[in-house]
Amino acid sequence: MTYDITHLKVSEDDNGQRLDRWLKKKLPRTPYALIQKMLRTGQVRVDGKRARAETRIEAGQDIRLPPAEPKTEKLTFRSETGDKEFLQSITIYDDGQLLILNKPYGLAVQGGPNITRHIDGMLAQLRNLKGVQPRLVHRLDRDTSGILVCGRSLAATRDMGDIFVNRDIKKIYWAIISPAPRQDFGELNGAIAKGEGKRKEAVVINEETGKASRTLYRVIERSADNDAAFVAFWPRTGRMHQIRVHSADILGSPILGDEKYDCNGAMIDRYDLNGRLHLHAARLIFRHPKTQEIMDIRAPLPEDLRSSWQKLGFTIEYDSDPFSDILARDVEQVDGFKGTTNKLNASESKVSMGKNKRKK
């Protein structure tokens, strides 16, 4: 426990960061609610003055921290020998500004209840000569593999984060869904809300309480019996489990291996496929925040998914941009695309749903 008043200097790498996020990083065992209380009551001082949670701190400033009681003494991350080598083995791009990984299935991106191994914790092993640790720009579900972007500095992380927030980026996911959808391409629209009860760890489509969400999809290939399809998804918004719930509840075709969203496992058993979630962040196209060059990052399919692709007769080395006729921004204004999208809303879906419920 920490019961002494302490003073810390803001490092160059933390210049411009929000005060509340900086405090959360410096006081990892202190509940965020307590940090907010410290700020509201003026216990935290910046250069001797009261400051708000949203205050942007500057390098060299003195931050006064009051006595704080840790939430728990239990470690939330357990480092292991070989973490650095592991991260290097899954690195697909690193220019000193951006670090891009091909995250494997089953590895969490950040910590949480009962999670002691995650990418965020391992990144400390990749500090540069100035001691700066890479930071996550976005997240991937634990069960989704593929491209994960980190910034090598606070500035790079912030600039890349702006690109994600402004949607000036093309994020393409590959998936196998079943059954194959009727239309080869389209747009899925359905407001997403947190689930309740048995679905509290999932999300649901709820047009009254949910947040507007939009996903584009295109069928790349269909299986011989049309009981499955290799599909590319481009989420135009960034909600939790967006692709998964849109595919299952609006398109009516759950992603293989997604038991949380109604995949019954019949296709897995029929073709003797790997039981993992068949969703992979395969490609990222964006303008580099520093050099302004157009970046086209690709993450090859991992071996467990390559096997499923082969058994269903799908092309593993597919190399085209399935959304080449769509710009990263102002989608509806692109010539040759406006009016050609088959829009499917939750209310028009073949899947029958009530409020916060999913068809069984």
pLDDT band at 356 (very low <50, low <70, confident <90, very high): very low
pLDDT band at 5 (very low <50, low <70, confident <90, very high): confident
* Burial (CB count within 10 angstroms: exposed 0-12, middle 13-18, buried 19+), residue 231: buried
Return the closest-CA partner of residue 150 out of 133, 168, 172, 128: 133
Question: Residue 1 above 50 pLDDT?
Answer: no
| pLDDT value, residue 101 | 98
CA distance 280 to 173: 5
| pLDDT value, residue 302 | 96
pLDDT digits over 174-230, tens only? 999 999 999 999 999 999 999 876 667 789 999 999 999 999 999 999 999 999 999
Sign of CA dihedral 233, 238, 243, 246: negative
CA 177 to chain centre: 20
Question: Residue 77 above 80 pLDDT?
Answer: no
CA distance 282 to 269: 25
Find the catalytic residue in 20, 141, 143, 249: 141
Identify the structural domains of the chain with CATH numbers, from first to last.
6-65 (3.10.290.10), 83-162 (3.30.2350.10), 170-348 (3.30.2350.10)
pLDDT band at 116 (very low <50, low <70, confident <90, very high): confident
Contacting residues for 235 by C-beta, under 8 A, at least 6 apart? 171, 173, 213, 214, 215, 216, 242, 243
**Does 304 qualify as catalytic in the annotation?**
no
Question: Residue 162 above 90 pLDDT?
Answer: yes
pLDDT digits over 10-61, tens only? 998 889 888 987 888 888 777 777 787 888 888 999 999 999 888 999 999 9
pLDDT digits over 295-352, tens only? 999 999 999 999 999 999 999 999 999 999 887 653 343 333 333 446 667 655 543 3
| pLDDT value, residue 343 | 66
| pLDDT value, residue 262 | 84
CA distances for 354 relative to 70, 153, 193, 279, angstroms: 43, 46, 13, 27
Residue 291: strand pairing partners: none
DSSP one-letter code for 11: P
| pLDDT value, residue 75 | 46
Q: Which residue has the higher pLDDT, 167 or 360?
A: 167
3-state secondary structure of 278: coil
